[in-house]
């Protein structure tokens, strides 16, 4: 991947973040009601409310507001949250790592489990394959939130939750609920790609040359995993990330999802825009990482891209 190409991708990603977060800002500002409603209710005099609105930039026009936001974004100063009376950046620095931790561990584990599962789907005995395939279909079609409720029921019934392990068990349940549907889908994807690769003529040939089938499957498996499976990373990530919202709320995990929800409901416009920027930034960064990974792992794609 050439430096120019990387530069173009990064520029596109930054543009994407700016565009999406500004749209969120405008949307939140246009929404009925604003933050000073509560002041009006508390019988704060009209001129004090007017001062407050000026301080919070609520008297600005939408283009003005967008300009203020974008200038701030460039300097990484995302303004102040009304609701929390704290800089948005400090709130994000506090909450985003919790969500990233939850989502990233779910993604990583989904890939590891999915690839092992998929390999076994190709390798295993017929009965095992049938069971595994059924299980994959089952988990990939059950939404994370349902899995989470099922796991919580299990945990409560077995007493894991009551014995002081709440702080450890709850996030574990969350991660498990998030990774299972993705792992099931990745297992199926990996198995299909692998079966195709194993059936290819040159694979048959090397098998005839005496390369053990097990070795062949693993070698091919890694290659398939590195290319076709890795390329769906952004989709998997967006999927798991979306599901993490409800998982955070149900498990009481104080992450980005909870923060975004609070911000939206309180009409805390800079916090809404800040959260959106963080989400869009994460999504864009992941796209970049997956591109780089695919390029590194499969030089042919790089060659192909260079030729374009």
Partner 1 sequence: MQPREAAPIVATLRTEPESFNRLVSATAAVDVITNLIHAPLIKVDRQTGLVMPWLAERWDALSNTSFRLHLARDVRFSDGAPFTAADVAFTFRAVYDARVNSAAASGLRVNGQPLAITEEDAHTVRIDFPAPYGPGLAILDFLPMLPRHRLEDALASGRFAEAWAASAPPDTIVGLGPFIVREARAGESITFARNPHYFRRDQLPREGLAEAIIVRVVPDQSAEMVQLESGAADLVTSGLRAEDIAAFRALEQQGRVRLHDVGAALDANALWFNLKPGAPASIDRPWLQRTELRQAISRAVSRQRIVDTVFLGAGEPVITPVTTGHGIWHATDVVPPPHDVDEAARLLASIGLEDRNGDGVREDANGREARIALLTQRGHTTRERTASIVQEDLRRAGLAVDVVPLETGALIARIGSGDYDAVLFGLQASSADPAVNLDFWLPSGPFHLWNPAQPAPATDWEARLAALMDTVAHSPDQQERRRAFHDVQRLFAAELPAIYFAVPKVVVPTSARLTGVKPVVLMPHVLWMPEALGTK
Partner 2 sequence: MIARRIGVALSAILLLLVATGDRLAPNAASEQFHDSAWAPPMPLHASGGGLFAHPLALTDRLSRTFGEDTSRRIDVDLFSDGRLVSTPEDASAPLFLLGADALGRDILARVAGAARWSLGVAIAGSLLAIAVGALLGALAAGGGRAADRLVVATSTGLATLPVVYIVLALRAAMPLVMTPGQVFLALVLLFGLVGWPMTAWGVRGILQRERALDYADAARAAGASRLRLMFVHLLPATSGFLVTQFLILVPGFLISEVTLSFLGLGFPEPTPSWGTMLQDASNVRVIADAPWMLAPAAAIALTSIALHLAAGARQDPLTVFSRAR
95 contributes a contact to partner 1 by CB under 8 A: yes
Q: How many residues bind partner 2 (CB under 8 A)?
A: 55
- Which of 91, 115, 236, 237 touches partner 1 by CB under 8 A? 91
Cβ 68 vs Cβ 29: under 8 Å: no
266 contributes a contact to partner 1 by CB under 8 A: yes
From the list partner 1, partner 2, none, which binds 45 (C-beta under 5 to 8 Å, kind-based)? none
Choose one: 4-12, 137-145, 163-171, 206-214; the region binding partner 1 (CB under 8 A).
Answer: 163-171
81 contributes a contact to partner 2 by CB under 8 A: no
Residues in the chain: 308
Residues 6+ apart with CB under 8 A from 158: none
Q: State the nearest-atom distance from the C-beta of 248 to partner 2, in Å.
A: 11
From the list partner 1, partner 2, none, which binds 175 (C-beta under 5 to 8 Å, kind-based)? none
From the list partner 2, partner 1, none, which binds 188 (C-beta under 5 to 8 Å, kind-based)? partner 2
- Angle CA 260–285–270, to nearest 5: 30
From the list partner 1, partner 2, none, which binds 43 (C-beta under 5 to 8 Å, kind-based)? partner 1
- Which of 66, 287, 291, 294 touches partner 2 by CB under 8 A? 287
Q: State the nearest-atom distance from the C-beta of 281 to partner 1, in Å.
A: 21
Binding positions for partner 1, 115-144, rule CB under 8 A: none
164 contributes a contact to partner 1 by CB under 8 A: yes
Binding positions for partner 2, 4-43, rule CB under 8 A: 16, 19-20, 24, 27-28, 30-33
Q: What secondary structure does DSSP assign to the chain, as a single string?
A: --HHHHHHHHHHHHHHHHHHHHHHHHHHHHSSS-TTHHHHHTT--HHHHHHHHHHTTTTS-HHHHHHHHHHHHHTT---EETTTTEEHHHHHHHHHHHHHHHHHHHHHHHHHHHHHHHHHHHHS-HHHHHHHHHHHHHHHHS-HHHHHHHHHHHHHHHTTTTTT-HHHHHHHHHHHHHHHHHHHHHHHHHHHHHHHHHHSHHHHHHHHTT--HHHHHHHHHHHHIIIIIGGGHHHHHHHHHHHHHHHHHHHT--SHHHHHHHHHHTT-HHHHHHHHHHHHHHHHHHHHHHHHHHHHH-HHHHHHHHH-
Q: State the nearest-atom distance from the C-beta of 8 to partner 2, in Å.
A: 14
**Positions that interact with partner 1 (CB under 8 A):** 33, 35, 37-38, 40-43, 48, 84-86, 90-91, 94-95, 161-167, 252, 254, 258, 265-266
**Positions that interact with partner 2 (CB under 8 A):** 16, 19-20, 24, 27-28, 30-33, 137-138, 140-143, 145-146, 149-150, 152-153, 156-157, 161, 181, 185-186, 188-189, 192, 232, 234-236, 238-239, 241-243, 245-246, 249-250, 260-261, 264-265, 272, 276, 279-280, 283-284, 287
């Amino acid at each position: 991947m050439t430096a120019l190409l990387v530069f173009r991708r990064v520029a596109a990603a930054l543009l994407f973040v700016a565009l999406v977060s500004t749209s969120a800002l405008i949307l939140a500002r246009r929404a009925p009601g604003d933050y000073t409603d509560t002041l009006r209710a508390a019988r704060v005099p009209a001129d004090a409310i007017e001062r407050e609105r000026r301080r919070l930039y609520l008297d600005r026009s939408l283009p003005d507001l967008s300009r203020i936001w974008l200038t701030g974004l460039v300097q990484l100063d995302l303004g102040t949250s009304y609701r929390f009376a704290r800089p948005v950046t400090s709130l994000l620095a506090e909450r985003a790592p919790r969500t990233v931790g939850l989502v990233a561990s779910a993604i990583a584990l989904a890939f590891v489990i999915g690839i092992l599962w998929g390999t076994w789907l190709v390798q295993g005995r017929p009965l095992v394959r049938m069971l595994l395939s059924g299980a994959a279909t089952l988990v990939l079609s059950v939404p994370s939130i349902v899995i989470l409720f099922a796991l919580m029921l299990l945990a409560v019934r077995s007493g894991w939750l009551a014995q002081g392990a709440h702080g450890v068990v709850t996030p574990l349940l969350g991660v498990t609920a998030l990774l299972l549907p993705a792992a099931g889908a990745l297992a199926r994807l990996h198995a299909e790609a692998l079966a195709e690769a194993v059936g290819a003529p040159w694979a048959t040939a090397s098998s005839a040359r005496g390369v053990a089938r097990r070795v062949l499957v693993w070698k091919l498996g890694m290659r398939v995993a590195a290319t076709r499976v890795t390329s769906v990373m952004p989709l998997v990530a967006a999927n798991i990330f979306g599901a993490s919202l409800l998982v955070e709320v149900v498990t009481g995990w104080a992450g980005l999802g909870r923060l975004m929800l609070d911000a939206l409901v309180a009409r805390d416009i800079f916090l809404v825009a800040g959260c959106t920027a963080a989400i869009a930034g994460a999504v864009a960064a992941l796209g970049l990482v997956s591109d780089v990974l695919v390029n590194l792992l499969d030089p042919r794609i790089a060659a192909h891209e260079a030729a374009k």
